[in-house]
Amino acid sequence: MITNTSQELDFAARIVQGRENMALTIGSSTNGREAKATYRSICGGLREVIKHHRNILGSVDDSGALHALKAMELVDRVQSWREASLAELGSFGIDRLEIRQIEEECRVV
């Protein structure tokens, strides 16, 4: 199967764009339930962006290498949201076991 690295990068970028507004709300959840929902969404996005990055890496040529770098930037951005969201979960007293369950559900462990 031939991977269109440009298309994979576009998919990853759309995932990030779709969660951008939600990421701006990290830290403003009013309860643990909202904070967990945000974290779950971010973890799901991270899983998908990583998947597209790996697809790009599996088909690297000159243009694919550039796409792989850009996809890694997207992975880093979503990872920073995940870290911020983790801090918010802690402020609501959500324990590491619950966080781990979310990560396992989203397959980002």
For residues 88 and 38, is the Cβ–Cβ distance under 8 A?
A: yes
Rounded distance between C-alpha atoms, residue 33 and residue 63, angstroms: 42
DSSP conformation letters of 19-56: HHHHHHTTT--SSHHHHHHHHHHHHHHHHHHHHHHHHH
Confidence of residue 3 (pLDDT cuts 50, 70, 90): low
Residue of 45 and 62 predicted with greater confidence = 45
pLDDT single digits (tens) 49-107: 999 998 888 877 777 788 888 899 999 999 999 999 999 998 899 999 999 999 999 99
Predicted TM-score of the model (pTM): 0.79
Q: Which of 74, 105, 103, 73 is nearest to 86 (CA)?
A: 103
